[in-house]
Homo-oligomer: A and B are copies of this chain.
Amino acid sequence: MKDRESVAALDRDDPLAPLREQFTLPEGVIYLDGNSLGVAPSAAASRAAQVINDEWAVGLVRSWNTAGWHALPGRLGNKLATLIGAKPNEVVVTDTISSNLFKVLSAALKLIEKRDPSRRVIVSERSNFPSDLYIAQGLIALLDHGYTLRLVDTPEELHAAIGHDTAIAMITHVNYRTGYMHDMAALTRHIHHVGALAVWDLAHSTGAVPVDLTSVDADFAVGCTYKYLNAGPGAPGFVWVAKRHQLHVHQPLSGWWGHEAPFAMNPTFRPAHGIGRFLCGTQPIVSLALVECGLDVFLQTDMQTLRRKSLAMSDLFIELVESRCKEFPLELVTPRDHAQRGSQVSFDHPHGYEVMQALIARGVIGDYREPRILRFGFTPLYLRFVDVWDAVETLRDVLATEAWRAPEYAERSAVT
């Protein structure tokens, strides 16, 4: 039988424990929402001050060269590459993940159209993050070339749905709601076996679980830096393209940053020789520069060490909720199997929204996702095992006292 003391012992043995000091964490908060917005690295405020006071205010336009602003998307991409098994010059940090998905889907469709124009289906999951589906819908409507989006209802149906009519399988590696994680290697093998291209969304994977894009032989990937990478609210996303495709693909958001010689001011677009062709316009440098503060903490450890602690935390959370809150109608939605679990745990509760608001009011910040889902993210860089214990005790208290029935917790805010 676990108690708080036995859980605290896990923290004393945790090799990652010292990294917590590199983040600014508010008093009285247990933050289980790093899968939505990561916390602030302690270095972020001073880095922003440096960009604004030195690079911008004093360096002014000269800083495009002298402060290396122009090289930032590629330089940060190379740092990020190590977390997803990518090689140098395969990643750029830029734009939003949705814009990057649009670029990648467009590029992949054109690539496969040349090989086999009869392939007209993009396969995905109905439970995929909606923005991914919206982007595919937007591209299909724009092209008006008879493409369709085929959505399956369960992960098990994916295999059969990806066939010889499939142009692209657009899969999110870890599901935002359930935390279900696909077998990226097996699915990519199948996608290639039927002659389609694999586009992976790594929003809930990057910095959360080990990913090896090179060894699974993926084609395209996009991801996000403001969740597990702690880059700041809405910080730019990233795009990865396998080296073998880079010189054969064209993406339509072909702004001057993607030109092989942007300052030649030539009226005809000629794409950069590599991943640089996936850049578009001038990037928001203050937000972009902060991506580095989060990455620099990751580079002090490795994804295997993080994964061990992540699973230990989510295992502990499941065990404690199921033992200490067993009289309440909580149903585990996240797979128990480690091979199918990301770095979050979701429970279904008939009053999920209200329960989450009551938890947040008590300083345990997870989030709610329609319908009925209580979502808790586990971020080994800055969470302690005692935080897991304390969060479950707060959950038990909210449920046992029925505190969640207070009327203020039923009010829906704009963003939940």
Bound Cα distance from A324 to B367, whole angstroms: 67
Q: How many A residues face the partner with a CB closer than 8 A?
A: 100
Asked whether any CB of chain B lies closer than 8 Å to the CB of A85, the reply is no
Bound Cα distance from A163 to B367, whole angstroms: 55
Q: Within the complex, which residue of B143, B233, B269, B415 is in contact with A143, where a contact is CB–CB below 8 Å?
A: B143
Interface mask (A228-246 → B, CB under 8 Å = 1, otherwise 0)? 0000111111000000000
**Contact assessment for A281 and B367 in the assembled complex, using a CB-CB cutoff below 8 Å:** no
Bound Cα distance from A234 to B284, whole angstroms: 4
The residues of B that contact A201 with a CB separation of less than 8 Å are none
The residues of B that contact A232 with a CB separation of less than 8 Å are 52, 56, 284-286
**Contact assessment for A254 and B49 in the assembled complex, using a CB-CB cutoff below 8 Å:** no
Shortest beta-carbon distance, A127 to chain B, in Å? 8
Bound Cα distance from A370 to B255, whole angstroms: 18
Residue of B nearest to A53 (CB): B45
Residue of B nearest to A368 (CB): B263
**Contact assessment for B413 and A252 in the assembled complex, using a CB-CB cutoff below 8 Å:** no
Interface mask (A255-291 → B, CB under 8 Å = 1, otherwise 0)? 1111100111111110000000000111111111010
The residues of B that contact A167 with a CB separation of less than 8 Å are none
Asked whether any CB of chain B lies closer than 8 Å to the CB of A141, the reply is yes
**Contact assessment for B143 and A142 in the assembled complex, using a CB-CB cutoff below 8 Å:** yes
Interface mask (A103-127 → B, CB under 8 Å = 1, otherwise 0)? 0001000100000000000000010
The residues of B that contact A63 with a CB separation of less than 8 Å are 233
Q: Which of A25, A31, A45, A65 has the most CB of B within 10 A?
A: A45
Asked whether any CB of chain B lies closer than 8 Å to the CB of A403, the reply is no
**Contact assessment for A281 and B414 in the assembled complex, using a CB-CB cutoff below 8 Å:** no
Interface CB pairs A-B, < 8 A, 16 = A37-B64, A44-B56, A44-B57, A45-B53, A45-B57, A95-B281, A98-B256, A98-B257, A99-B255, A99-B280, A129-B256, A135-B253, A137-B268, A139-B252, A232-B286, A263-B416
* A interface residues with partner B (beta carbon < 8 Å): 24-26, 29, 31, 33, 36-37, 39-40, 44-45, 48-49, 51-53, 55-58, 60-65, 69-71, 95-99, 102, 106, 110, 126, 128-131, 133-135, 137-139, 141-145, 151, 177, 226, 232-237, 250-259, 262-269, 280-288, 290, 360, 365, 367, 369-370, 413-416
- 13 further A-B contacts with Cβ under 8 Å, apart from A25-B57, A48-B49, A61-B365, are A39-B60, A65-B415, A97-B282, A98-B280, A99-B253, A135-B254, A138-B250, A138-B253, A232-B286, A234-B282, A235-B286, A263-B416, A286-B286
